[in-house]
Structures are given as C-alpha cells and as structure tokens.
A = this chain, B = another copy of it.
C-alpha cells in the first residue's frame, strides 16, 4: 500500500486548498420544453469573448452556502421565474480546460417545464427556446452536456413519469404520444400506446374535451401522481443487456 493512503486531516486539506488553488464549481441547467410537437431547450446567449454569439445553458457558480440542488433551483428561479418544475441531477463534467476563465467543474441538471409557464418576449434575443435537433454548436462543452442530458431523458422517460411536466396539466392522449415520439425519435402504434397508458391506470379522465380542433375532439386527461407514488412497487427483476 502506498504511503499516502490514509485520508487527509483537516490541516492537510486546508493547506492543500491554499497551495494548489481551489476549483470553481458551477451548476448548469438543461431546461427542456415541448412545443409544436418538438422538443425544445432554453438557451441564453453567451457573453464571453471566447464564445461570442454562441448559445449556452443556464448556469452559475455555486455559492459556498448553498447545496447543489439549491443552486440549480436558484438558477431557474432567477433566470426564468419558474418555481414549479421537475429537476434532477444528471452528471458532473470536469475536463480541465472546459471553461476559459478558470478551472471550473460543473454539475449538470435536467429540468422539464411546460413552455406555457415561461415564454421569453419575442424580441428578447438573449434567452430563447431552441429546437433541440437544430442545435449544432454551443459555448463551452455545453453541447456535450446537452447530449448527455438528452440521452438521460430518453432513458428516464421510459422508466418514470416525467413527461407530464412538459405538458399542460390537462392533455390529450395524442399530445402525450407526440411527446414520446418526439423525445424518443420513433413512431408508435396509437392503439398500443393508449392500451399501455390506460393499463397503468394512472391517467384520469377530466371529463373535458379538446376545443378548437378541426376534427373530433379528444378527451383530456391528467396524470395522477398520488396514485403513482402508491403503486411505486419495485419491478424486480429483469437482467437484460
């Protein structure tokens, strides 16, 4: 066993931080929305000279007195005013040169919002909903972070009921299916899709119908989170790779 195996004591830690320099830590939020049957991401124009004109995720350095989750919520609140949303940590990114200002490690969070709840002014060219599949280049390593969060979302949405955060509280099954098709990039059989969701027994018929559609209006449902929590039995067991 090498010599330096034991954990460091407080003094050693502080000395090392003093000597070798601290690292900066930031949180970056990938904010997904769903509109016009497309998956969108909320991006902000970068100020940094290195990335002039490029778009970046919403992020900020964390304060020493807030938790990581706390910082993520703060960023969303400060920049969009949105309070009620789904938010989850995805991954930390720590390439040495990922930020031009300093060595800054970032923790990526994924959040899902209903675009109705936050619409930047149309003339606001700093903060904007971008169609995911049109995004090619971004500031920093943000494209890489975005890709990781998108993959995370694709997987996650098949195993947990996140998708509803992207829809209005009342939605038609068509809207729900469009959402899944947009996120997964596949097309699904309508009858089997309905069967699947109805068999879960988590959608509640609101008794209302779509309005202003040029065809037979669909029923509107809402997702019963309460019932879901009750049911959240582990679904052991299935090795499959």
A interface with B by C-beta (< 8 Å): 1-2, 4-10, 13-14, 16-17, 20-25, 44-49, 56, 59-69, 71, 78-81, 89, 91-96, 100-105, 107, 120, 124, 126-127, 157-161, 180, 184, 186, 188, 196, 200, 228, 235-241
Contacts and interface: CB of A to CB of B under 8 A. Distances in A.
B94 A91 contact: no
A64 B23 contact: yes
Given A7-B46, A24-B23, A196-B239, A67 B96 contact: yes
Contacts of A64: 20-21, 23, 96, 103
A126 B5 contact: yes
Contacts of A238: 158
A29 to B, nearest CB: 12
Given A66-B96, A102-B17, A7 B48 contact: yes
A10 B48 contact: yes
A100 B7 CA distance: 13
A239 B92 CA distance: 27
A101 B62 CA distance: 18
A110 to B, nearest CB: 13
A186 to B, nearest CB: 6
